[in-house]
């Protein structure tokens, strides 16, 4: 997976796109496969229990793929990323700091592109299975990917949760840099290392000013 991550960092474009994304928009993002295909589909708002449509991600033993938006988002006026998600189950028996345990029922991540690719940096906001909420660590496959356990364990499983992160502050804290723009935004539900199954849901994602 490490080589594929580096290739992803190298190929990102810098096309400026919108700052708010609904389920139908997210489903149109580019598929990035690491191992097989996670099943992503749009579920109408009347069936999600959230009052909005959502992307349903179903991962079945041995698959790992994400949906990636290659875009350029200027950070100066809107550094806060807000998203809604729901996780119906977590994985058991994983060491998420190891390669064998590098699976998450839900993750949202951002990439700041640099050249060459190994200078690029990313933050993965994850719903962890075993790492405690608030923990941060280097990704086992690519150290330039920092992991943040925004949620952890079975607390609030099956519930819709709204998250907000000041991405600029997180880059400053975790990478010691202040990127002028973010070049990619992605979601992923993966289970290729865990050999287990998971279902997650992703609602609207948007960039906000820090005082909202």
SS (H, E, C) 128-171: ECCCCCCCEEECCCCCCEEEEEEEECCCCCCCCEEEEEEHHHHH
Could you read off the pLDDT of 67-92 as tens digits, one per residue? 999 989 999 999 999 999 999 999 99
For residue 129, what pLDDT band results from cuts at 50, 70 and 90?
very high
- What pLDDT, on a 0 to 100 scale, did the predictor assign at position 3? 39
List alpha helices for the chain, DSSP H: 2-11, 23-27, 167-175
Whether the pLDDT of residue 115 is over 90: the answer is: no
Kindly report the pTM of this predicted structure.
0.89
> Percent of the chain having pLDDT more than 70?
91
Mean of per-residue pLDDT scores for the chain: 90
CB neighbours of residue 41 within 10 Å: 11
pLDDT of 119: 83
Q: Which residue has the higher pLDDT, 162 or 12?
A: 162
**Residues contacting 37, CB < 8 A, separation 6+:** 31, 63, 65
The pLDDT of residue 169 is above 90 = yes
Average pLDDT over every residue of 121-128 = 98
pLDDT score, position 17 = 38
**Which domains are delineated in the chain?**
2-208 (2.60.120.260)
User: Whose CA is closest to 189, among 79, 58, 77?
Assistant: 58
Cα 19 to its chain centre, rounded Å, is: 16
Confidence (pLDDT) at 1: 52
Eight-class DSSP state of 28? T
Give residue 114's pLDDT band: very low, low, confident or very high (50, 70, 90): confident
Q: What is the pLDDT of residue 45?
A: 93
Q: What is the pLDDT of residue 2?
A: 45
Span 137-159, mean pLDDT?
A: 95
For 19-72, write each residue's pLDDT tens digit: 899 999 999 999 999 888 999 999 999 999 999 999 999 998 788 899 999 989
């Amino acid at each position: 997976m490490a080589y594929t991550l580096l290739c992803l960092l190298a190929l990102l474009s810098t096309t400026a796109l919108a700052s708010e994304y609904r389920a139908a928009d997210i489903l149109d993002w580019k598929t990035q496969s690491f191992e097989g295909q996670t099943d992503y589909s749009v579920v109408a708002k009347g069936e999600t229990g959230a009052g909005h449509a959502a992307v349903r991600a179903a991962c079945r033993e041995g698959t790992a793929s994400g949906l990636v938006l290659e875009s350029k988002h200027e950070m100066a006026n809107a550094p806060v990323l807000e998203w809604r998600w729901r996780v119906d189950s977590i994985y058991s028996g994983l060491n998420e700091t190891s390669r064998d345990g590098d699976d998450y029922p839900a993750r949202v991540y951002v990439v700041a592109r640099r050249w060459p690719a190994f200078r690029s940096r990313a933050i993965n906001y994850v719903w962890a299975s075993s790492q405690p909420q608030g923990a941060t660590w280097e990704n086992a496959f690519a150290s330039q990917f920092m992991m943040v356990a925004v949620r952890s364990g079975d607390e609030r499983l099956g519930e819709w949760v709204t998250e907000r992160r000041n991405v600029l502050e997180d880059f400053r804290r975790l990478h010691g840099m202040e990127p002028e723009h973010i070049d990619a935004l992605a979601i992923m539900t993966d289970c290729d290392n865990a050999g287990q199954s998971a279902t997650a849901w992703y609602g609207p994602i948007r960039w906000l000013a820090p005082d909202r």
